[in-house]
C-alpha cells in the first residue's frame, strides 16, 4: 500500500469537466467529505447531450460554499493560464474531454480541440505553476483497442487504437509522460471502463436504451449480443480517483542523474465483464421494478441484434491488480445494484 503524500484538507482542487457525469460526482464527494476543501469547477457545458442534465448537476454543486464554477473552453489558453494564476490549485483533476467513440468518427475536430489542445493547455499551466503537486487525468479503456489479451493490463502495449477518441486518450498519456519527464510534474492517468449510473451520459447504452424503450422504439444490440463490457458504477470510479489523487508519484533521480518521470497509469474497472444480452435483461427488470416501463412490456418486439459497429471492440476487461496493491481498492458494485440506482433516478427525473 502506498502512503498518501497529499492532504486534501483546505486544498484548492481544479476539476475540469465538472458539469459532466464523473466530474460532478467526484466534485460532490470532495465537497461533502473533506474539510475546507475548495473545488474550482470548469466546463464548457456544450450540447453534445442534453444540457439540462449538465445544468442540474451544476445545481447540486452550487449548493456548496466551497464550489466555484467557471464556464469556458479548455482550448482557450489565456483563460486556463488566468485560472491557474488566480486560484493556484494544488491538485488538478482533468476529467473534461469530448467523449464518445462513434461521435469521433463523424466529428473528429471536437476531439482534437478538447482532448489534445485542451489537455496541452492543462499541461502547460501545470508546468508554469509550482503550486500544482499532482495532475490526475482521465484516460480510457478505449486505448486498449484491438488488444487480444484479457484482462487488459497497464503493462500491455496500446498502439492499435480503433477510434480517434482512443487515439486522443493514448496521446494524453504520452503527453503527460513527456511533461513528467521534462518538468518533473507528478501525473497519474486513469483508464476508466464503461462508467454508468444515475444522471449519467444519455449517449451511453443503458441510458439510450431506456429512452428508446420508453418511446416504443427498437434498441440495437451490437455484435449480435456477443459483446462484453466491464461496467463500472460511477461511485466506484469516484472512490478510485479520490484515493489516487492523494498519492502523487514520487520524484526520484535515475542512475543517469536525470529525473525518473513521476508518472503512473491505473485501470479503474469492475474486473467482471458482463455480456450485453445479460446486461439488457437486468436493465429491463429494473426499469419495470422502478415503474419506468409497464409489467407487460414486450421487450422481444423492441430489440434487434445487429453487427459490430466501427470503432467498437468485442470485450473490455480491466486488470485492477495495481490499483488494489497500491490503494487497497477494487470496484465491486454489482451490475444489478447499479442499474437499479439508475432506473430509480430515471423514474424520478423524468416522472
Q: Enumerate the active-site residues.
A: 165
Residue corresponding to grid cell 468485442: 314
89: helix, strand or coil: coil
Under 8 Å CB-to-CB from 245, ≥6 apart: which residues?
6, 8, 13, 91, 93, 134, 136, 188
Q: What are phi and psi of 47, to 5 degrees?
A: -100, 30
118: helix, strand or coil: helix
Q: Which helix (H) or strand (E) holds 340?
A: helix 335-349
Q: Give the C-alpha separation, 211 to 2, whole Å.
A: 43
Are 202 and 213 in contact, with CB atoms under 8 Å apart? no
Q: Give the C-alpha separation, 2 to 195, whole Å.
A: 25
Are 179 and 187 in contact, with CB atoms under 8 Å apart? yes
CA 30 from chain center: how many Å? Answer: 16
Q: Give the C-alpha separation, 268 to 236, whole Å.
A: 8
Q: Give the C-alpha separation, 61 to 152, whole Å.
A: 34
Amino acid at each position: 500500500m502506498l502512503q498518501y503524500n497529499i492532504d486534501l484538507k483546505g486544498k484548492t482542487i481544479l476539476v475540469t469537466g465538472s458539469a459532466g457525469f464523473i466530474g460532478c460526482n467526484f466534485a460532490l464527494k470532495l465537497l461533502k467529505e473533506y474539510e475546507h476543501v475548495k473545488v474550482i469547477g470548469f466546463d464548457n457545458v456544450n450540447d453534445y447531450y442534453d444540457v439540462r442534465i449538465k445544468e442540474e448537476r451544476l445545481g447540486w454543486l452550487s449548493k456548496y460554499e466551497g464550489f466555484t464554477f467557471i464556464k469556458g473552453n479548455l482550448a482557450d489558453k489565456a483563460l486556463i493560464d488566468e485560472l491557474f494564476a488566480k486560484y493556484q490549485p494544488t491538485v488538478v483533476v482533468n476529467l473534461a474531454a469530448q467523449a464518445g467513440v462513434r461521435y469521433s468518427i463523424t466529428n473528429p475536430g471536437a476531439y482534437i480541440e478538447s482532448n489534445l489542445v485542451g489537455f496541452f493547455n492543462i499541461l502547460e499551466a501545470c508546468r508554469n505553476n509550482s503550486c500544482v503537486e499532482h495532475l490526475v487525468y482521465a484516460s480510457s479503456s478505449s486505448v486498449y483497442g484491438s488488444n487480444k489479451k484479457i484482462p487488459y493490463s497497464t503493462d500491455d502495449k496500446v498502439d492499435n487504437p480503433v477510434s480517434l477518441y482512443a487515439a486522443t486518450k493514448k496521446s494524453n498519456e504520452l503527453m503527460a509522460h513527456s511533461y513528467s519527464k521534462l518538468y518533473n510534474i507528478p501525473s497519474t492517468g486513469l483508464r476508466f471502463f464503461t462508467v454508468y449510473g444515475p444522471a449519467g451520459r444519455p449517449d451511453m447504452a443503458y441510458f439510450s436504451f431506456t429512452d428508446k424503450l420508453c418511446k416504443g422504439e427498437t434498441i440495437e444490440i451490437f455484435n449480435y449480443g456477443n459483446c462484453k463490457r466491464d461496467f463500472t458504477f460511477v461511485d466506484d470510479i469516484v472512490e478510485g480517483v479520490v484515493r489516487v489523487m492523494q498519492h502523487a508519484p514520487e520524484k526520484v533521480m535515475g542512475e543517469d542523474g536525470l529525473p525518473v518521470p513521476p508518472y503512473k497509469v491505473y485501470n479503474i474497472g469492475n474486473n467482471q465483464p458482463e455480456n450485453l444480452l445479460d446486461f439488457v435483461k437486468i436493465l429491463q427488470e429494473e426499469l419495470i421494478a422502478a415503474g419506468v416501463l409497464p409489467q407487460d412490456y414486450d421487450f422481444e418486439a423492441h430489440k434487434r441484434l445487429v453487427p459490430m459497429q466501427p470503432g467498437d471492440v468485442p470485450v473490455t476487461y480491466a486488470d485492477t491488480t495495481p490499483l488494489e496493491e497500491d490503494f487497497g481498492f477494487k470496484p465491486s458494485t454489482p451490475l444489478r445494484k447499479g442499474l437499479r440506482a439508475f432506473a430509480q433516478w430515471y423514474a424520478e427525473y423524468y416522472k
